[in-house]
Amino acid sequence: MVEANRTVMIPLRIPEGSTADFHQTILPYAYCQQETVDHCWPDNPTQPADLQPSKQDAEEALYDRLRADTNEQLHSNLVQKAVTDATAAISSYKSSWENGDRISKPDFHDRERDGYTMTYDKRAATYDRYEATVSTVNGTVTCRYELPAEVEGTPYGEYILDRRWSFSTSKLIFDGERFWLHAVMHRQFGDDPVYAPQTDDSTSDTHEDTHRVLGVDLNVDGATAVSSTGQFYGNADALNSYRSEQEQLRGELQQPGTRSAHLRFQQRRGTEWRYYDQYAHHVANSIKQEVLRVRATHVAFENLTRIRKRISNLPTFQQWLFKNVRKYTEYKLERYGVTVDTTNPDYTSQACSRTDCDCVDEDNRDGKQFACLECGYTIQSDYNAAKNVGFRYLNTELSSPAGHTCSSGQATSQLALMSGTLSPTGDCAEHDWVSTDKPYPQQASDSSSARAQ
Ligand SMILES: [Zn+2]
Q: What's the DSSP call for residue 362?
A: G
In this structure, what are the phi and psi dihedrals at residue 253, rounded to the nearest 5 degrees? -65, -30
Distance 358 CA to ligand 1 centre (A): 6
Q: What is the pLDDT of residue 71?
A: 87
Distance 432 CA to ligand 1 centre (A): 14
Distance 385 CA to ligand 1 centre (A): 13
**C-beta of residue 226 within 8 angstroms of C-beta of residue 383:** yes
Distance 433 CA to ligand 1 centre (A): 14
User: 141, 137, 112, 138: which is closest to 125 by C-alpha?
Assistant: 141
Distance 371 CA to ligand 1 centre (A): 8
**C-beta of residue 22 within 8 angstroms of C-beta of residue 14:** yes
Q: Print pLDDT tens along the chain (453 aa).
A: 567 788 888 899 999 999 999 999 999 999 999 999 999 999 999 999 999 999 999 999 999 999 999 988 999 999 999 999 999 989 988 888 888 888 888 888 765 457 889 999 989 999 988 899 999 999 999 999 988 777 777 788 788 887 778 899 999 999 888 999 999 988 876 543 333 333 333 333 333 356 789 999 998 889 999 999 989 999 999 999 999 898 888 777 776 667 777 787 788 888 889 999 999 999 999 999 999 888 888 999 988 776 666 666 677 888 899 999 999 999 999 888 899 999 887 888 899 988 778 899 999 999 999 999 998 889 899 999 999 999 888 887 776 444 333 333 334 677 877 656 665 543 322 222 223 332 222 222 233 222 222
What one-letter code names the amino acid at 399? S
Distance 365 CA to ligand 1 centre (A): 11
Q: What is the pLDDT of residue 104?
A: 84
CA atoms within 13 A on the CB side of 364: 28
Burial of 212 (0-12, 13-18, 19+ CB in 10 A): buried
Q: What is the pLDDT of residue 312?
A: 63
Q: What is the pLDDT of residue 418?
A: 67
Distance CA 312, CA 308 (A): 6
Distance 376 CA to ligand 1 centre (A): 6
Instruction: List, in sequence order, every beta strand (DSSP E) within 207-283.
Output: 210-218, 225-227, 232-233
Domain ranges for the chain = 2-203, 213-452
Number of helical (H) and strand (E) elements in the chain, helices listed first? 11, 19
Distance 374 CA to ligand 1 centre (A): 5
User: 424, 153, 151, 114: which is closest to 293 by C-alpha?
Assistant: 114
Distance 222 CA to ligand 1 centre (A): 23
Distance 352 CA to ligand 1 centre (A): 5
Distance 361 CA to ligand 1 centre (A): 10
CA atoms within 13 A on the CB side of 134: 30
**C-beta of residue 118 within 8 angstroms of C-beta of residue 295:** no
Distance 138 CA to ligand 1 centre (A): 52
Instruction: Name residues whose C-beta falls within 8 Å of residue 439's C-beta, 6 or more positions apart in sequence.
Output: 2, 3, 4, 189
Radius of gyration for the alpha carbons in the chain, expressed in angstroms and rounded: 24
Instruction: Name residues whose C-beta falls within 8 Å of residue 280's C-beta, 6 or more positions apart in sequence.
Output: 321, 324, 325, 328
Distance CA 409, CA 449 (A): 7
Distance 364 CA to ligand 1 centre (A): 9
Across the strands, what pairs with 302? 343
Distance 360 CA to ligand 1 centre (A): 8
Distance 372 CA to ligand 1 centre (A): 5
Distance 127 CA to ligand 1 centre (A): 38
> What does the chain come to in residues?
453
CA atoms within 13 A on the CB side of 403: 17
Q: pTM of the predicted model, to two decimals?
A: 0.49
Distance 130 CA to ligand 1 centre (A): 36
Distance 163 CA to ligand 1 centre (A): 32
Burial of 231 (0-12, 13-18, 19+ CB in 10 A): buried
